[in-house]
Structure 1
Amino acid sequence: MTAAETVREAMLSEAERIAEALVFASAEPVTEGFLADRLPKGVIVPDIMARLKARYASRGVNLVQVADCWAFRTAADLSFQLRRDEGEVRKLSRAALEVLAIIAYHQPVTRAEIEDIRGVQTSKGTLDVLLEAGWVRFRGRRRTPGRPVTFGTTRDFLDHFGLEEIRDLPGLEELKGAGLLSGRIPPTLSIPSPRDDDLTEDEDPITQLDLEELGLLTPRGEEAEDHT
């Protein structure tokens, strides 16, 4: 190894150590932009994270990618060894699981579209549970009469289910292979390819006024009155 190669390898090793410390110290998945601002100039963040991921691949803690972020997680084959306090994770009802699956595969999707797919009405409480869990979010407003709200999944959803991106959701053949679909599948059944987080052409972004209307923010006028 030449002197220049030795110097570069030393720089990359130091960049790995810094990235490792930054991800370890963060309570939330760390974005590549955050890492780029703090790593030595000239290093390529995805390359550094790939090196670090390989080092942790066979250990009890793995470095995993969640969308454009990175986090340390317990190795999947050891998760059964860990005990969680009862009630830490709220058990979802069958209805909530159905709604979550529909949102994951069909996003962006409105409440009316969810009900059309399920064939039954969806209670506000079911959606509230998913919103409170942090797995579902308001994406935007559909450019149709009434401007219904569209729903989509979150980064926390990807993190919880061990997905790097929404496209990693299992397809029809994988679901059949896992026994999650019965042998008698209608020939017309299809599972759409999940979309990314970009707004579609028929969606408008959620605004401050929309959030106030949805009850997620206090109207500015009322807030001003509270301080008088």
Structure 2
Amino acid sequence: MNTVDAKRVLETALICAQQPVPLRELRVLFHDALGSDTLKQLLHELQLEWTQRGVELVQVATGWRFQSRPEMREYLDRLHPEKPPRYTRATMETLAIIAYRQPVTRGDIEDIRGVTVNSLIIKQLEDRGWVEVIGHRETVGRPALFATTRQFLDDMGLQSLDQLPVLDDPSGNANVLEAMAAAAQGVIEPEPELAMAEPEVAAQDDAAPLAAPEPPPTPVRDDFFENVETGLRDDDADADTQGGIQGNT
């Protein structure tokens, strides 16, 4: 099979695929007659051939796929005028902390944000396929360790976490959360969050006398979000009614 025919096969397979296709599956198209290096070269040639079109060939975490270019989105939205999913700033901040500091526990997130993390936010990030539990920290209570998934990378258009905006780069700091929401085809809710405290009630022995609860320790806030210039106030907290993603892409 010559190069032109091989590229036509790759192009057809990728256009018809509903999900990104990894290189090992693309080799099956040619009964492994073409090696990985040859396929990569053909894919890069296809990328160049589609440069001037409204669709582009990209490589993400789980493989290769064709997708519309960002500048085409406003036109495509006219065909499907559905409202994009909306995210609270608390949701995107929680996602950003997990992405940049993973693996992290819920307590780590609360220390950074300075507020209690609504369990609904974590659940919604898990339901969206962006976050998963990868283990437990060997400490009191063995809290769950959260990390991002390959689905998160695919939805953000990334091949690896190394492609996340560098926090030390001023040009990338201000719009980290907005960039995440935009990559996921959503918008950040402009409404301010309401103060909320999510109580954690520990199970007690019915026969044991009740003791006065100790006040919770004040979370130690670090400079993570000051670095990305999100303008988060010390008194911000998550709200039950607007604590996460509303709808899927």
TM value normalised by structure 1: 0.67
Using the TM superposition, give the Cα deviation of residue 105 of structure 1 relative to its aligned residue in structure 2, in angstroms: 0.8
Q: Provide the C-alpha distance between the structure 2 equivalents of 1:130 and 1:62, rounded to a whole number of angstroms.
A: 28
Bigger helix share: 1
Using the TM superposition, give the Cα deviation of residue 153 of structure 1 relative to its aligned residue in structure 2, in angstroms: 1.7
Using the TM superposition, give the Cα deviation of residue 33 of structure 1 relative to its aligned residue in structure 2, in angstroms: 1.3
Aligned equivalent of 2:67: 73
Using the TM superposition, give the Cα deviation of residue 91 of structure 1 relative to its aligned residue in structure 2, in angstroms: 0.8
Aligned equivalent of 2:76: 82
> For residue 170 of structure 1, what is the amino acid of its counterpart?
P
- Residue pair 1:32, 1:68 contacting (<8 A) in 2 also: no
The residue matched to 2:85 in structure 1 has which SS?
A: coil
Using the TM superposition, give the Cα deviation of residue 53 of structure 1 relative to its aligned residue in structure 2, in angstroms: 1.5
Percent identity over the alignment is: 36
Using the TM superposition, give the Cα deviation of residue 179 of structure 1 relative to its aligned residue in structure 2, in angstroms: 6.6
Q: Residues 100 and 49 from structure 1, CA distance in 2 versus in 1: closer, same or farther, beyond 3 angstroms?
A: same
Deviation sequence 1:110-137 (CA, Å, 0-9, x none): 1111111111111110111212222222
Q: Provide the C-alpha distance between the structure 2 equivalents of 1:178 and 1:154, rounded to a whole number of angstroms.
A: 22
2:32 maps to 1:37:
no
- Residue pair 1:19, 1:39 contacting (<8 A) in 2 also: no
Aligned equivalent of 2:238: none
> For residue 103 of structure 2, what is the amino acid of its counterpart?
P
2:174 maps to 1:180:
yes
Q: Provide the C-alpha distance between the structure 2 equivalents of 1:65 and 1:32, rounded to a whole number of angstroms.
A: 10
Q: Residues 189 and 119 from structure 1, CA distance in 2 versus in 1: closer, same or farther, beyond 3 angstroms?
A: closer
The residue matched to 2:2 in structure 1 has which SS?
A: helix
Question: What stretches of structure 2 of length at least 5 have no aligned partner?
Answer: 176-221, 226-249
Query: Which stretches of structure 1, 4 residues or more, deviate above 6 A after TM superposition?
Result: none
Using the TM superposition, give the Cα deviation of residue 180 of structure 1 relative to its aligned residue in structure 2, in angstroms: 1.1
Aligned equivalent of 2:18: 27
2:111 maps to 1:120:
no
The one of the two structures with greater contact order (alpha-carbon pairs below 8 A, sep at least 6) is 2
Q: Provide the C-alpha distance between the structure 1 equivalents of 2:108 and 2:144, rounded to a whole number of angstroms.
A: 11
Using the TM superposition, give the Cα deviation of residue 171 of structure 1 relative to its aligned residue in structure 2, in angstroms: 1.0
Q: Residues 76 and 144 from structure 1, CA distance in 2 versus in 1: closer, same or farther, beyond 3 angstroms?
A: same
Count of residue pairs the alignment pairs up: 174
